């Protein structure tokens, strides 16, 4: 679900492969899902896509309402950064993939989604 929301919200990441099935239990649905994954696509059931699009739309509305002055279409998406950190055990290399990066503003965005944000559910 996270990859799907990222794709719909940021417009970046793997292409979607929409599967017309009620669930993933049938042989045909499983094969379609596996083929999509092998092709580097995000498999999604058609009826789940509608829900994900609504979620991404709500996320976009909330993001725009914050008026951060950070237009998503001006960001680099799925951007990998690396750095070296000194620790008590010596230096280590670190890596992160940022959902969105505005280099000129030195600002990054990392989107997280959850089906239930209650503290006991996390």
Residue 122, pLDDT score = 61
DSSP state of 44: E
Query: pLDDT tens digit string along 2-51?
Result: 788 889 988 878 999 999 999 999 999 999 999 999 999 999 999 999 98
Residue 116, pLDDT score = 75
Closest by CA position to 104, among listed 76, 63, 79: 76
Query: pLDDT tens digit string along 60-114?
Result: 888 887 888 888 888 888 889 999 999 999 999 999 988 889 888 888 888 877 7
Specify the pTM. Answer: 0.72
Sheet holding 76-87, edge to edge: 76-87, 90-102, 107-109
Residue 117, pLDDT score = 73
Cβ neighbors of 6 (< 8 A, separation 6 or more) are 12, 13, 78, 99, 111
């Amino acid at each position: 679900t996270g990859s799907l929301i990222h794709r719909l919200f940021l417009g970046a990441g793997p292409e979607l492969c929409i599967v017309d099935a009620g669930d993933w239990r049938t042989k045909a649905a499983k094969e379609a899902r596996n083929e999509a994954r092998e092709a580097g696509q995000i498999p999604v059931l058609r009826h789940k896509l509608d829900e994900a699009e609504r979620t991404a739309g709500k996320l976009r509305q909330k993001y725009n309402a914050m008026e951060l002055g950070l237009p998503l279409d001006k960001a680099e998406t799925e951007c990998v950064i690396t750095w070296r950190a000194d620790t008590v055990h010596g230096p280590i290399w670190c890596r992160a993939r940022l959902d969105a990066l505005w280099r000129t503003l030195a600002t990054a965005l990392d989107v997280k989604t959850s089906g239930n944000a209650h503290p006991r559910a996390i």
